[in-house]
Structures are given as C-alpha cells and as structure tokens.
Structure 1
Amino acid sequence: MRLFSFSGATTSMGDRAGEAGPVSRSRVLSLSCLAHALHDGYTDMIYALLPVWQADFGLGYGALAVLRGLYAGAMAALQLPAGRVAGRIGTRATLAIGTFLAALGYAVAGMSGTLIGLCIALAISGAGSSTQHPLASGAISRVYGRDARGPLSIYNFSGDLGKSALPAAISLLITVMPWRHALWAMSIVGALVAMVIALFLPSVPREAFPVDEASTQTRDGSGSGFSLLFAIGVLDTAVRMGLLTFLPFLLTAKGISRPMMGTALALVFIGGAAGKFTCGWLGARVGVIGTVLATEGGTAALIFATVFLPLTPTLILLPLLGVMLNGTSSILYGTVPELTSVDRTERAFALFYTGVIASGALAPIAYGFLGDRIGAPGATIATAITALVIFPLAFALRPRLSGA
C-alpha cells in the first residue's frame, strides 16, 4: 500500500463524482491543514491562559478544568450535527461558518469582564470548532480514497503546528498587553482564516468515491474492532488532556517563569508534531499495536519523570513527552478508515472525534477535582496509570487489524 501520495494533480475520481467536476487534492489538503492548525491552536491556547484566569478569577483546579471542559464539551457535542449541517449547506460553508464562530468566541472572551461571560464565550468558540475535525478529515478521505492514510497523517501533523504556534503566541502577547487584548488579536487571525476557507476551499462531493473503491471494507468483527479503537482513543485523550491540564502547575511549582511557560508548552507540542511522523514511520514497521504499546508505555514513564524530576531535566524531556503523548493519536486516526467502509468514513470520523473530544472535556474535570483532593502531582500520576490501562485493549484489537 502506498502510504504517501500527495500529488497536487486533480483527482480523476472527482470526475467520476458526476456534476461536481474535478477536485484539487492539494487545495483540499492544504486548506484542511490550515483549518486544523487554527482550531487545534485555539483549543490548546486555553492551557496557556489557565494560570492567568486562575489569578484573575480565583479559581481552583476543578473550576479551571470546567472552563476547559466548556470549550471541549461544546466541540464534542456538535460533531455529528456539524456533519448534518454540511449535508444541507455544504462542507465549505459549514467549515467557514464554524471557523468564524470559533474566532468570534475568543473576541467575546476578550470583551467579557465576568466569569459567566468567559464561560459563554468559550462555549461559542468550542461550538465553532466542532465543524473542523469530521468535515476536514472526511473531505481528505473522500478526495484521496485508498491513498488517504498519508494525507491524513499530514493533516494530523498540521494540528500540532497550530498547537505549537498559538499557545506560544498568546503566552508572548500576554506579557506585553492585557490578556483580553491578546484574545482580540488572535480572533482576527481566525476571521481571516474563515474568509480564506470560504473563498478557496473546493466543493468536495459528498460521495467522491464509490464504495467498491474502499481501501478496506467492513469485515466480520470490524464493529467490535472500531469499538476497541474508540475506547483506546478515549483513554489516550484522557491521558493527554489530563496531563496538559496539570503541566503548567507542575512547572510553576518547579520555578518556571511565565514567559518560559509558553516555550515549555511549545516544546511539548513540537514534540507532538514530530510524533505524528515518528509514529507513522514506526507503525509501518512494527504495526499499529506495537506502536500503541510503545507510545503508551513511554507516556507513562515520562509522566512519572515529569512529576519527580527538577525543572531542567523536565524541560529536556518535554519534547519526547510530546512525541509519546500525540504519537498514539496519529496511529488511531489513520486506522479509522480501515475499520469502516468508505461510504461511512465521515460518520465514523464524527463518532470517533465525538468520543475523544468528549473525553478531552470530561477527563480534565475528573482529574481536576481529583487534584483538588490529592494535589496536582497525585492527579498527574493518575494519568500515567490510565495510559497503562490501554495495554489490554490494544492486545484485544490486534486480531481485528491486518498487519497490526
């Protein structure tokens, strides 16, 4: 199987789609990546803002996790409705409107002077971001067909570029201006991206590829295989989001400065971006399950190291921690099409993203309240234990995957 085929040529399958005409693969991929970078950056900017909001509003760990959960919860709850809206008005219009709403939410947060206003603003932004994952990944899957795993890897990598750039940018901005003004500046970036999507994203046919072109078809047991993949994705996300919730506070306790905090988070996210390619390469050689076991075991070990080591060694390990944290997700997302038929791929992505984003919303709340009871180090150790729970699920998934 060809893992990487990123030809900018117009796909011939688009011609077979009928009236929609040919579709530029490269433009669909590049604009999907742009949307992914922005929305993932918006999502993870919250981590850099949590200590600021804690100081401004006097919040505990649990309340801070609720703020993060409002954004992620709105994003998770509207994944499937976003697909239905796209079926009525088109992928391009839905994605552009969602991107504009995500930017508007941060603009409203910048105008709000109360905690209630901030909560409403985060919910608006999260609702806008609900459009990006299922629609962009579904569009890439449709225009690339059997060659979609490679482009999906690039798409996932682009999200980590946003996670690296936007939290670092907001951390820098809040050192030279009030955080509300910094949010206004970031919202302008989102509005510009929404305009680019509205003007230049091609209209992707809803059924760009006939079912018999599927790279893999639903097999006996594939339903249970998708359920196992779903469960692994939920737990993997819980580990990642739980750790990222506490990481700024662990680093603060070790004596890190506020400007350096953005750099530290960027190290994690840059490592995560590298993990997309590293784990794609590793997965092609040792299989999906071997890669999952390696990344989850490495994640658990590095979380323990982050809790107990001094600041300097911790900073050195942060890029490797990012590789392990995000590497699993790259493998899981690329495996979704293997367990579903092409005509159900977009819905499968919507279900998968609903689960992992809901986990991203709820897990930090659970870990946050646990942190209020036993402290940030203890709750962080709990995330490492969660990573180890994935091992038996991965072994159960192995027989349901070819070349796992």
Structure 2
Amino acid sequence: MRPFSSSLPTTAAANASGNSSSVSRARVLWLSCTAHALHDGYTDMIYALLPVWQTDFGLGYGALAIVRGVYAGTMATLQLPAGRLARAWGTPLTLALGTLLAALGYAVAGMSGTLLGLCVALALSGSGSSTQHPLASGAVARAYGRNARGPLSVYNFAGDLGKSALPAAISLLITVMPWRHALWAMSAIGVLVAAVIALFLPSIPASEPSAAEAPSQNSNGSRSGFSLLFTIGVLDTAVRMGLLTFLPFLLKAKGISPPMMGTALALVFIGGAAGKFVCGWLGARMGVIGTVFATEGGTAALILAVLYLPLTPALILLPLLGAMLNGTSSVLYGTVPELTSVERTERAFALFYTGTIASGALSPVAYGFLGDGIGAHGATLATAATALAVLPLALALRPHLRKT
C-alpha cells in the first residue's frame, strides 16, 4: 500500500507542475504578443499622423522625415542597452517600464506645441519601444526552449496585427476628435498594457542545458553562425523594403487606378502577415535551410513575374509575393536562440533586430539612388538578385544548425 500512496501524490505533483509550466508558457507568449502588437502599432501609427503634423506644425517633407527618423533611430540604437537593463531589473519590470515610457511619450507628443517638443516626445516613445523586441522575443525563446520556433512565428505575426489595428484606430479617432486627444487615448491603452505586463508576465529564468543539449549548444552557438544569420536577416529586410519602395511605381506603369493601388498594397500586407504566421511553423517541419530556399527563391521568381506580367495576373500573385517576402523573417527569428547560449538570448535578439531595423531604414535609400541611376525596372531586378544572394549564405549556415 505504501508504494501506491507515495506515488499518487508524486504523480499529482508532476501533473500540477506540468500544467503550471504550460500555463506560464502560454502567458508569456500571449503577453509578449500583446506587447509586440502595441509597440509595432505605435511605430507605424506615425505614418497616419504625419499629414496631420504637417498641417498643424507647418512642416516640410524633410522635417517629417526627421520626425519619423527620431522614433525609429532611438528604438534601433537602444535595444542593446535594453537587454542590459533586463539583466539587472528582470524582463517583466524592464518591459513594463519600456511600455509605460512608450505610452507616455505619445501623451507628451499630444501636449507638444513645437517641432522640438514633438521630436523629444517621439524620442521618449522610441526609447520605450526599444525594450520590446529583444525582451519579448527573448522571453518566448526562454519559455519554449527548443520548441520556440512555432511560438516565435505567432509572436512575429502579432506585430503585423498591431501595425494594422493601431494606425487604423488613430486614423478613425482623429476624424471624431482633435489629434492631441486621440494620442492621449492611445497612450492610455499603452499604460494599461504596461500594468498588465508588470502584474502578470512571469519571470523566466535561464535554465541550464541538459547534458545531451550542451555539446549541441556549444557547437551551434558560434559567432560565425550568428553572423551568417544576421547577414541573411539584413539582406532579407533589404529585399522587402526595396521592393515595396518600387512596387507602387511598377503597378502604376501597368495602368492600375489610384483606388486600386491601396487594395493592391493591402493584398501584399495580408499575404505578408499570413507568411509570417505559416513559415515559422513550416521551418520547424521543413527545416531552416529548405524554408529559406523556398521563400527567397520564391521571392525572386515572384518579383520577376510581377515585373513582367500584365496587371491582372500580377495582382493575383501579390498575396503570394507578400507571403514569400515576409515568411523568411519568422524562420530567421526562430533560429536566433539556436545560435546563441541561453544567457545571451536577449542580447542576440537585440543585435539581430538592430541590424534588420537599420536595414529597413537604409535599404530604401540605397535602392532609391540605384533607381535614379538605372530606373525602377533595373532597381527591382536588383532586389530579386539580392534575394538570390541569400541562398549561398543559407548553405553556409547549414553546418551551424541542429537540423536543416
């Protein structure tokens, strides 16, 4: 009787522990997705506000570019310091304070009466948003361990939901109230999310790798492997942002009507969101290299198809093109934890996101100058060539991965 009586509590305790662990992982994922949606929405909300600020402050296009650059620049450059703060204060507190700062920055923007005040407010908000990518993605990676690739694709997809929802919300609000009041309303949402993160986001400690995993981590977490992944991420972002720079002009040359242009771009973005969601899971099943070959090769082929096909078939292909353009990113983000040690996960994500954000800011400028020299058609061909340039890098990455 004794063995049975002692084993039952042990089994119950094990089940309770497993259930608790599962609940904690789910909570980490959904709170991280909420943070991602909010911060990415805050980032893209600026696009909806630029015309309003142009009128209210009397800004030229150069000044508007500075306004946009202040937010993006502070967000990109402060991601590494955000990771260091998290090691000192813990991820939940640092992420909650960052979210609060991002929200308060928009509240201050609503009180700004000058361009300088607006830039200071956006710098505050961008500083707060710098915490989100490295800390939230690092929390998901820690919570799920070697099974993080799929959850990271869900996290990645959540950002696209925020990019769609918050700019649309602010656009609606400024039609029924002054833009300053609309910013205060959006800021209140951020304050609420910050409180929820502070109260409910579990702290995920860095677990020690098992004896079976330790050799794999030592060999796979090499600097050369991460450098290859980083380069692929930079090039992948360059392809996406470069093509989106020229796509409206290509469609206009095919005779698309102005009202249909918005629909065409929406098709690309919808396909992109679906690609982020699907390709992370696909990478876990097909392997990283196979998925990267499919998405980057598909991107190059679809760029050429859209470039040379008539308008109607080109429009039909746009959702698939969007899926290929964005799908690689989920696979790459899911591979970051595989190429770094557990205790350096946040730093690795911070480096990776800094590189991709910088690429997203600089690549349209580079392709733009190229387009000035050789035309939009030639510059678009260059984006397809850049996608193909990823393929040999992916092959070089293969030895650094656990499975391909």
Change (3 A) 1:142 1:234: same
Equivalent position of 1:59 in the other structure: 61
- Structure possessing the higher radius of gyration over alpha carbons: 2
Tell me which amino acid in the other structure corresponds to 2:61. L
Q: Answer whether contact 2:91 2:203 (CA < 8 A) is retained.
A: yes
Normalization by structure 1: what TM-score?
0.79
Equivalent position of 1:81 in the other structure: 81
Judge which range, 180-189 or 244-253, deviates more: 244-253
Equivalent position of 2:7 in the other structure: none
Change (3 A) 1:11 1:127: farther
Could you list the per-position Cα deviations for residues 170-228 of structure 1 after superposition, in whole angstroms to 9, with x for gaps in the alignment? 444456666555444433322221222122222333x2x11337584121783211110
Shift of 1:53: 6.4
Judge which range, 218-227 or 128-137, deviates more: 218-227
Tell me which amino acid in the other structure corresponds to 1:364. P
Q: Answer whether contact 1:222 1:400 (CA < 8 A) is retained.
A: yes
Change (3 A) 1:355 1:282: same
Change (3 A) 1:166 1:402: same
* Structure 1 SS opposite 2:186: helix
Equivalent position of 1:355 in the other structure: 355
Q: Answer whether contact 2:153 2:281 (CA < 8 A) is retained.
A: no
Equivalent position of 1:341 in the other structure: 341
Question: Which of 196, 210, 213 is the matching residue for 1:212?
Answer: 210
Q: Answer whether contact 1:233 1:332 (CA < 8 A) is retained.
A: yes
User: How do residues 77-226 of structure 1 correspond to structure 2 at under 5 angstroms?
Assistant: 77-112=77-112, 114-173=114-173, 182-205=182-205, 207=206, 209-212=207-210, 214=213, 216-219=216-219, 222-226=222-226
Change (3 A) 1:69 1:220: same
Equivalent position of 2:44 in the other structure: 44
Q: Answer whether contact 1:36 1:162 (CA < 8 A) is retained.
A: yes
Gaps of 5+ in 2: 1-14
User: How do residues 319-398 of structure 1 correspond to structure 2 at under 5 angstroms?
Assistant: 319-368=319-368, 382-398=382-398
Shift of 1:353: 1.8
Change (3 A) 1:175 1:354: same
Shift of 1:363: 2.5
Distance 2:252 2:102 in 1: 29
Equivalent position of 2:287 in the other structure: 287
Could you list the per-position Cα deviations for residues 249-300 of structure 1 after superposition, in whole angstroms to 9, with x for gaps in the alignment? 7778844349x84x65554333222112332343344421222122123323
* Structure 1 SS opposite 2:218: coil
Equivalent position of 2:235 in the other structure: 235
Shift of 1:388: 2.8
Tell me which amino acid in the other structure corresponds to 2:124. I
Tell me which amino acid in the other structure corresponds to 1:219. S
Distance 2:66 2:148 in 1: 36
Gaps of 5+ in 1: 1-8, 16-21
Whose RCO is larger (CA < 8 A, sep 6+)? 1
Tell me which amino acid in the other structure corresponds to 1:59. Y
Distance 2:69 2:18 in 1: 42
Distance 1:166 1:317 in 2: 27
Percent of pairs identical after alignment?
Answer: 77
Shift of 1:308: 6.6
Judge which range, 269-278 or 110-119, deviates more: 110-119
Q: Answer whether contact 2:152 2:280 (CA < 8 A) is retained.
A: no
Q: Answer whether contact 2:221 2:339 (CA < 8 A) is retained.
A: no
Normalization by structure 2: what TM-score?
0.79
Equivalent position of 1:3 in the other structure: none
Change (3 A) 1:25 1:387: same
Distance 2:370 2:318 in 1: 24
Shift of 1:43: 2.4
Number of equivalenced pairs: 384
Q: Does 1:276 align with 2:276?
A: yes
Q: Answer whether contact 1:164 1:267 (CA < 8 A) is retained.
A: no
Change (3 A) 1:147 1:297: closer
Tell me which amino acid in the other structure corresponds to 2:208. P
Judge which range, 309-318 or 159-168, deviates more: 309-318
Could you list the per-position Cα deviations for residues 84-143 of structure 1 after superposition, in whole angstroms to 9, with x for gaps in the alignment? 111222211211111122223333444445554444333322211110111112222222
Change (3 A) 1:177 1:256: farther
Distance 2:314 2:118 in 1: 32
Judge which range, 116-125 or 366-375, deviates more: 366-375
Distance 2:17 2:363 in 1: 41
Q: Answer whether contact 1:137 1:349 (CA < 8 A) is retained.
A: yes
* Structure 2 SS opposite 1:338: helix
Shift of 1:247: 5.5
Distance 1:103 1:224 in 2: 38
